[in-house]
Amino acid sequence: MKFNFLFYIIPFFILLSNPFCKAQNSFNDFKKEKTYIQTNHVFYKPGEIIFFKIYVIQAENNLPADQSRIVNFELVDPSGAVVKKEKFEIKNGHAEGSFYFGEEMKGGIYKIRAFTAWMQNENGKNVFEKEISLQKIISPRILMKLDFPKKGYGAGDEVLADFSMRSLSNLPIPFYEAYFTVMHQGEKINEGSLITDKEGKYLLKFKLPEVLKSSDALLNIKVNFDGFTESISRNIPIVLNNLDVKFMPEGGTFINGIEQNIAFKVLDEFEKPVDAVLEIYNQNHQKLTEVSAYNFGMGSFLFMPKKGETYYAKVLKPENISKIYSLPITKDDGIVFNAKKENQNIRLIINSTFERNVLIKGNFRGKEIFSKAMNLKKGLNELEILEKELPIGICRFTVIENNIPLAERIVFSNENKQMKVKITPVISPILGTLKSRVFC
C-alpha cells in the first residue's frame, strides 16, 4: 500500500510544479515599465485645477507599454501625507485626470506620483515623482524678474536667461547669492549658484541636453532672503519639430522679376513666437540667403524670385528642426505696393509687371480721405501725398483694379501732432483742497 501511495502522489506534485514554473517564467518575461506625468502648470493657487496626463512606457525603448491596464496616482502634501489616491485606466499608453486644490489646502511643494502594479515589484525604485507648488497669496519680500531674451531653443542649444533682484523700494540688491535648478520632464538636468552684479542682475547661461523628447522644461531660481525663501520660475521656450512658418510677400503676391520685401512669422505648437534663423533654398537645393527673426518671431528680407523656380525654407536655429517650409508660389503678373514717409510726405511706390489703370483710395476709420485714378506704366510708379493733409492716426491705402483690390498698405501719419496732456495739481483757496487743471 505504501508503494502504491507514492506511485500516485509523486506524479501529482510533478504536475503541480509545471504550471508554477511556467508562471514564474512568464512573470520574468514581462518588460519593465516607466511612467511620466505631464501637467498643465507647475504652480497653482487655491481654487485652481491641475490637469495631468500619465504616460506608461516600456523602459527599454520608450514605446507605449501594454502589460498593465491600471496606473496608480498619488498626491503628497508638503508634510509627506498622501492626500489623494486614485486609479486610472490606461488607454493607448496613457491616462488622464485632474484634481481640484481647495481653499483649505496648505501652501508649499507637493509631489505627484504615478506607478503600475508591475513597477511595485521593484521595491518602488521606478515610481515617478514630480514636484508642483501650491502658492498661497503672500506679499513678496523682494522683487525678482526672470526672462528669456530669445524666444526659442532646441536640443543642445545654450540658453540665456536675464535675472534681476530689487528691493520693495525698487533698489538693486547687489552681490547676492541665488540658486538655480533646471528641470526637464520632471528630472533635474542642471543646477548651480549665481551672484548678482552691482545692479542686482545676472545673465544665466546653461546648455540643454542633446536629445529633447518634450518641451516640458522649467528654470527655477531660489533666494534665501531675511530668513525666508523666495523663488521665481519660468518655462523654458523649448521648440521641437512642430514649428509653423508663414511667409507674407509685400503686396500679397510673390511676383517674378521684382525685388520685394518678404515678411515672415514663426510660431510653435502653442502659437507662441519663436526667434528663429531660416535658410532659403531653391528647387535645386542651392542655399540663396539666411535670415533671422528680429522680434517676437517676426522678420523680413528682400528677395527677387525668378521665373520657373520654386523656393523653400529650412530652420537653422533652433537646431534639429527637420521640417521644410514652402514659400508662396510665384506669379508673372501683379504689383508690389509700398508706402514710405519722407520729408513730411507720404510716398506711394507701385511696381507693376504690365501697364494698367488703377484707382488708389485712402481710408481713415472707415471714411474715405483720398482717391486718385492712375495709369500705371510697366515698372516703377510713384505718387506723393502731403502728410499734413491727412488726419492723425493710421491711414489705409488700397490699389484697386476693376473694383478688385490688388494690394494695400497702412501708414501712421502725423504722429508728432498727437495731443499732449499736462496735469498740474493746484490748491483751491476756498475749499483748501487739491484740484487738477488740464492743459492741452
Pick 256 or 416 by higher pLDDT. 256
Could you give the count of Cα atoms lying within 13 Å of 23 in the half-sphere of its Cβ?
5
Please report, rounded to a whole number, the percentage of residues in the chain having pLDDT higher than 70: 87
**Could you tell me the three cell numbers for 203?**
545673465
Strands 379-386 and 393-401: unpaired
Question: Which domains does the chain carry?
Answer: 33-134 (2.60.40.1930), 143-235 (2.60.40.1930), 244-326 (2.60.40.1940), 335-417 (2.60.40.10)
Of 136, 116, 137, 134, which Cα lies nearest the Cα of 126? 116
pLDDT for the residue 18: 47
Residue-wise pLDDT for 198-224, tens only, equals: 999 999 999 998 888 777 888 999 999
Residue-wise pLDDT for 314-332, tens only, equals: 999 887 788 899 999 988 8
Whether the predicted pLDDT of 128 surpasses 60: yes
Residue-wise pLDDT for 319-374, tens only, equals: 778 889 999 998 888 888 888 888 888 888 888 888 999 999 999 988 999 999 99
Q: How confident is the model at residue 258 (pLDDT cuts 50, 70, 90)?
A: confident
CB 177 within 8 A of CB 163: no
Which residue in the block uniquely carries the three cell numbers 507674407?
248
Whether the predicted pLDDT of 394 surpasses 80: yes
Q: Using CA atoms, how far apart are residues 335 and 318, in angstroms rounded to an integer?
A: 35
Amino acid at position 93, single letter: G
pLDDT for the residue 161: 95
**Could you tell me the three cell numbers for 82?**
498622501
